[in-house]
Amino acid sequence: MYIIHPQLNIMAKNIGFVSTRFAGQDGVSLESAKWADVLWKEGYTSFWYSGLNDRNDDISYVVPEAYFGFDENEKINELIWDGKGRSKQTTNRIHKLANKLKQSLYDFVEKFDIDILIPQNCLAIPMHLPLGIAVTEFLSETKMPAIAHHHDFFWERTRFSVNSVPEYLDMSFPPKLQNIHNIVINQEAQEQLALRKGCSSQVIPNVFDFDNPPPDVDEYASDVRKELNLEEDDFFILQPTRVVPRKGIEQAIKMISLLKNPKCKLIISHEAGDEGYEYLHMLEQLAKEENVDMRIVADRVGEVRGRDKDNRKIYTLWDLYHHADFVTYPSTYEGFGNALLEAVYFRKPVLINRYSIFIRDIEPLGFDFLTMDGFVTPSQTQEVNEILTNSEKRKKMVDHNYQVAKKFYSYSVVRGILKTAIASLTGYTS
Instruction: Give the pLDDT score at 304.
Output: 87
Instruction: Give the pLDDT score at 277.
Output: 87
Instruction: Give the pLDDT score at 225.
Output: 97
Mean pLDDT of 215-242: 96
Per CATH, 3-207+411-426 and 224-408 having the same topology is answered yes
Q: Angle 134-140-144 (CA atoms, 0-180°, nearest 5)?
A: 100
Third-level CATH fold of 224-408: Rossmann fold (3.40.50)
Beta bridge partners of 48: 17, 60
Instruction: Give the pLDDT score at 1.
Output: 40
Banded pLDDT at 430 (limits 50, 70, 90): low
Instruction: Give the pLDDT score at 270.
Output: 92
Mean pLDDT of 161-173: 96
Instruction: Give the pLDDT score at 197.
Output: 95
Mean pLDDT of 411-425: 89
Q: Where are the domains of the chain?
A: 3-207+411-426, 224-408
Banded pLDDT at 2 (limits 50, 70, 90): very low
Q: What is the pLDDT of residues 112-157, one digit of tens each?
A: 999 999 999 999 999 999 999 999 999 999 999 999 999 999 999 8
Range of weakest confidence among 99-113, 208-222, 272-286, 311-325:
272-286
- For the residues of 371-426, what is the DSSP string, one character each? EESSS--HHHHHHHHHHHH-HHHHHHHHHHHHHHHHHHSSHHHHHHHHHHHHHHHH
Superfamily (CATH H level) for 3-207+411-426: Glycogen Phosphorylase B; (3.40.50.2000)
Label residues 54-91 b or e (16+ Cβ within 10 Å = b): ebeeeebbbbebbbbebeebeebbebbbeeeebeeebe
Q: Is 132 within 8 Å of 173 (Cβ atoms)?
A: yes
Instruction: Look at residue 366 and tell me whether its pLDDT is greater than 60.
Output: yes
Banded pLDDT at 427 (limits 50, 70, 90): confident
Q: How far is CA 346 from CA 26, 129, 180, 192, in A?
A: 19, 37, 36, 33
Looking at 163-227, list the stretches that DSSP marks H as alpha helix, in order from N- to C-terminal side.
166-172, 187-197, 224-227
Name residue 115's amino acid.
D
Instruction: Look at residue 215 and tell me whether its pLDDT is greater than 50.
Output: yes
Q: Is 57 within 8 Å of 136 (Cβ atoms)?
A: no
Instruction: Look at residue 82 and tell me whether its pLDDT is greater than 90.
Output: no
Banded pLDDT at 26 (limits 50, 70, 90): confident
Instruction: Give the pLDDT score at 274.
Output: 61
Instruction: Give the pLDDT score at 20.
Output: 97
Mean pLDDT of 105-117: 97
Q: What is the pLDDT of residues 260-302, one digit of tens each?
A: 999 999 999 998 866 678 999 999 999 999 999 999 999 999 9
CB burial class (10 A; 0-12, 13-18, 19+) of residue 412? middle
Average pLDDT, the chain: 93
Instruction: Give the pLDDT score at 7.
Output: 44
